[in-house]
Amino acid sequence: MNRKTANESPHAKLPGRLYRKQARWWWNVQLPGDKSSRSRALKPQGARCATTDRQLAEEIAFHLWQEAVRAEARAAARTEQVMRMQRLRLHFREKLKALRDVIASAEARAEAETAERLTLEVKLNSLRNQLTQMSPCESCGRSVPQSELQLIDSGQRLCRSCLDDLRRATQRQPSQVQRAEDGTQGTGLPDRRDIHGSDVLYAQTGSR
């Protein structure tokens, strides 16, 4: 095992080259963060000139090296932090864009569903109005929903009650109706008042 000699400096493995210039110590080295090597005067703190003591010069050089390594580490950490923030920002922007796309798609679907619902409501309201719109029966004169009026061959619109009366009257007197169609006058033809004063039956048969 090798042992350090008494005269061996603990900073003997410093990078670069220590040299004397006019009895003062200088250090030619490329410190971490430097683009190239350059010479530095090894000045004690507060001194205007480089030291003439080699051991002190080595200590100053070692201190400069440590400071450069720490500064480089801090710079690398800042760079990594900046890059991490940029990656996070990019990731956030991508997520935000995806979220906006989802929201836009949902809004478009909602608008389409709203338009479809409004169209259905308009149709339903139209049907409801048709069902609830009242018109008079042309036989009895009673107001009923238009949907309940039935158009007969004579062109008249009858309510269900008058239509039922007309059918019953026609069924009671089939022979008289047939004679009326043949142009003969029967004596058993139902009176107009039997179907609420309407002459619908006569309009159908062509006889009064």
Exposed, middle or buried by CB within 10 Å (0-12, 13-18, 19+), for 165? buried
Higher pLDDT, 206 or 49: 49
What's the Cα-to-Cα distance from 162 to each of 79, 128, 148, 192, 208, rounded to whole Å?
95, 24, 11, 12, 18
Residue 24 is which amino acid?
R
- Residue 14 has a pLDDT of 84
Residue 124 has pLDDT above 90, yes or no: no
User: Rounded mean pLDDT of the chain?
Assistant: 79
DSSP single-letter state for residue 36: S
Q: Distance from CA of residue 10 to its chain's centroid?
A: 68
Higher pLDDT, 95 or 184: 95
Q: Tens digits of per-residue pLDDT, 161-200? A: 898 888 888 887 655 555 555 554 444 444 444 444 444 4
Residues 6+ apart with CB under 8 A from 108: none
Six-digit token string for 39: 């010479």
